[in-house]
């Protein structure tokens, strides 16, 4: 039987390559930086141009589809996920890295139908690594199959997280306390690469064993979640329950053992939902 969404994925691949080239070209020029919600929540005109490029190209081909894009939502668009085929887009995941030319910068696109992720594409465009996954068909980096590390022992794991600064001192205290709790398990180490989508791909290809984060958005997670799952990874909510794309939080790991070990250790941070304004 024909795969109804493969054509969408092929189109997505083309436009993601174009977007990555646009980002690399922009890195050769001056970058003008603007603030969004706070002095550490950054956006550039490249974020906006790349999102326009992606959405206009897809809309032309699939006019009835829905979109949840980071910059469109920042400009007031809805981020309610429906059963309609929906493209969830982060034009530059790792904007702070982009501003500093720190080399983990990605274009992340996840595609859902009936609220289920059908495929994901994450292009780490400075490294030129194109991660792809179609539901049920495995995960790939530049066309070669990838797999999680299969590590079961949390004390031998390398863990990723991110340190999004919030003005609220209690939030900051929990963020730091969680890192201390994880480090003192002990684990081999913690890394914070600065792009949630790249973090998911690093676990997917076995370069790290786990990643936890509270306070990100569906556009940071959708593309990478497909890749992680198809690479054999485990994805769950930070409570240990089922993963919810709109919940703004997740744990992923090479094994259930490690994911549950992290869930048991960390304290919850209130972070709201993407589908509640």
* Structural contact between residues 31 and 46, judged by C-beta atoms closer than 8 angstroms: yes
Instruction: Confirm or reject binding of residue 90 to ligand IPD (CB under 6 A).
Output: yes
Residues contacting residue 162 through CB under 8 Å, at least 6 positions apart: 192, 194, 196, 199, 213, 216
Query: Alpha-carbon distance 101 to 97, whole Å?
Result: 6
Region from 25-33, 171-179, 191-199, 261-269 binding ligand IPD, contact rule CB under 6 A: 191-199
* Residue found under tokens 């556009």: 219
Please tell me what DSSP assigns to residue 155: G
Instruction: Confirm or reject binding of residue 164 to ligand IPD (CB under 6 A).
Output: yes
How many residues bind ligand IPD (CB under 6 A)? The answer is 14
Q: Which of 209, 220, 230, 274 binds ligand IPD (CB under 6 A)?
A: 220
Q: Which of 26, 125, 210, 216 binds ligand IPD (CB under 6 A)?
A: 216
H-helix or E-strand spanning residue 27: helix 6-27
Region from 12-20, 21-29, 86-94, 179-187 binding ligand IPD, contact rule CB under 6 A: 86-94
Instruction: Confirm or reject binding of residue 132 to ligand IPD (CB under 6 A).
Output: no
Q: What is the dihedral of CA 41, 162, 271, 131, to 10 degrees?
A: 90
Instruction: Confirm or reject binding of residue 274 to ligand IPD (CB under 6 A).
Output: no
Question: From the CB of 6, what's the least distance to ligand IPD, in Å?
Answer: 27
Instruction: Confirm or reject binding of residue 95 to ligand IPD (CB under 6 A).
Output: yes
Task: Characterize the bridge pairing of strands 129-134 and 139-141.
Answer: antiparallel
Query: Alpha-carbon distance 56 to 259, whole Å?
Result: 38
The catalytic residue positions are: 70, 90, 92-93, 95, 220
Segments of the chain assigned E as strands: 33-35, 42-44, 66-69, 86-93, 106-113, 116-124, 129-134, 139-141, 144-145, 158-160, 189-191, 210-214, 234-236, 249-253
The nearer residue to ligand IPD, 90 or 274, going by C-beta atoms, is: 90
The nearer residue to ligand IPD, 92 or 236, going by C-beta atoms, is: 92
Region from 9-17, 49-57, 212-220, 268-276 binding ligand IPD, contact rule CB under 6 A: 212-220
Question: From the CB of 270, what's the least distance to ligand IPD, in Å?
Answer: 15
Region from 8-16, 89-97, 174-182, 242-250 binding ligand IPD, contact rule CB under 6 A: 89-97
Instruction: Confirm or reject binding of residue 93 to ligand IPD (CB under 6 A).
Output: yes
Instruction: Confirm or reject binding of residue 70 to ligand IPD (CB under 6 A).
Output: yes
CB atoms within 10 A of CB 41: 14
* Structural contact between residues 24 and 126, judged by C-beta atoms closer than 8 angstroms: yes
| Beta-bridge mates of residue 133 | 120, 139
Instruction: Confirm or reject binding of residue 223 to ligand IPD (CB under 6 A).
Output: no
The nearer residue to ligand IPD, 215 or 232, going by C-beta atoms, is: 215
Give the interface with ligand IPD as residue ranges (CB under 6 A).
70, 90, 92-95, 162, 164, 194-196, 215-216, 220
């Amino acid at each position: 039987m024909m795969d109804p969404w493969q054509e969408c994925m092929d189109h997505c691949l083309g436009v993601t390559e174009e977007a990555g080239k646009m980002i690399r070209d922009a890195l050769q020029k001056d970058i003008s930086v603007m603030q969004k919600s706070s002095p550490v929540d950054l956006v550039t005109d490249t974020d906006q141009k790349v999102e326009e490029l992606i959405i206009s190209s897809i809309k032309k081909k699939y006019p009835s589809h829905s979109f949840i894009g980071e910059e469109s939502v920042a400009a007031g668009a809805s981020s309610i996920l429906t059963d309609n085929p929906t493209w969830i887009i982060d034009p530059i995941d790792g904007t702070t890295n982009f501003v500093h030319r720190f080399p983990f910068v990605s274009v992340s696109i996840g595609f859902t139908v009936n609220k289920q992720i059908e495929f994901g594409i994450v292009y780490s465009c400075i490294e030129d690594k194109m991660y792809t996954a179609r539901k049920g068909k495995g995960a790939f980096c530049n066309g070669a199959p990838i797999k999680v590390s299969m590590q079961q022992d949390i004390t031998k794991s390398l863990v990723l997280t991110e340190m999004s600064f919030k003005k609220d001192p209690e939030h900051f205290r929990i963020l730091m306390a969680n890192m201390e709790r994880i480090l003192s398990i002990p684990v081999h180490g913690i890394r914070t690469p600065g792009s949630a989508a790249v973090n998911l791909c690093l676990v997917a290809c076995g370069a790290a064993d786990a990643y936890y984060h509270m306070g990100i958005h569906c556009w940071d997670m959708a593309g990478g979640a497909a890749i992680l799952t198809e690479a054999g990874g485990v994805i769950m909510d930070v409570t240990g329950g089922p993963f919810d794309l709109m919940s703004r939080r997740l744990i992923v790991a090479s094994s259930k053992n490690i994911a549950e070990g992290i869930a048991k250790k960390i304290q919850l941070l209130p972070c709201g939902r993407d589908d509640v304004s």
